[in-house]
Structure 1
Amino acid sequence: MTTITLVQGDITRQSVDAIVNAANSSLLGGGGVDGAIHRRGGPEILADCRRLRASRYGKGLPTGRAVATTAGELDARWVIHTVGPVYSTTEDRSEPLASCYRESLRVADELGALSVAFPAVSAGIYGWPMDDAARIAVETVRATQTNVQEVRFVLFDERAYEAFARQVG
């Protein structure tokens, strides 16, 4: 059974098998969690991402999908990059958001990762309301069959932590 834990802090400081990156589809770094992971992890992550772009993901990683690279200088073995949807008030994009969590856990299982740290995917610059992002994240992790023993949600601030704590119960 998967244990869900919550941490308020910096995802790049977590010691886990895999850190999930809320990436943009280019896989070439960006702002928020993506930029922090690339900065702290060093150039090896970007080099791996460039290899992925040159091979399987020439047009970028599609929303809701996940792919792994080295973790570079991070205290993890892998970074699992997933592309969350941009929030929309006119279109329900909750399925692609749930897919980010399912696909990341699928990749973690393929790698043999037993501990995975997730950010609140799409709840930053992509504008997803935090309470709904937390609900989708926790429900999806609970409903997904995985060999991962610990899913750690690493929340940047108190507001995000509290939203996830309400969902975990």
Structure 2
Amino acid sequence: MHPTRNDLPQDTRAAIVKLLNERLADAIDLQLQAKQAHWNVRGPHFISLHELFDKVSEEVTGFIDVIAERASALGGVAEGTLAAVSSRTTLPAYSLTISDGRDHVDALSKAIAAFGKQARAAIDQADSAGDANTADLFTQVSREVDKQLWFVEAHLEAKR
């Protein structure tokens, strides 16, 4: 840990930095999965899904930045390398063979939901560790991820 005048105890900061890096890996993976969908979507709803997936990627990039910066602010190191992300992510692997729009919507919505679940768990973990600011950060992330999930899942609604 780097020295800081942050008044959270060092063991608390170390635990929170570990938690932040775990969620950072998931966020980077989610951002890449959204880009994978964006680059490879095909079908009759191409343009709307192409733009939607790019918007999801953009929103998740914001999560990545705030999570990483919080780790650094606490005296930790934000571990956003490919090696760190691939060894830590908890998200389901994204298929490289998908092209159909609905299949991308299904796969990306599963990844967004998995990330949202982890973000909600991080709220409780940060709160239990005594770091209300990180709990608040994950509350904001969770709220935004739920909105992105809603936008994506809306494309799964079946015709009646």
Fold agreement, TM-score > 0.5? no
Flag the structure with larger Rg. Answer: 2
Q: Normalising by the residue count of structure 2, what TM-score does the alignment of the two structures yield?
A: 0.31
Question: Which of the two has greater helix per residue?
Answer: 2
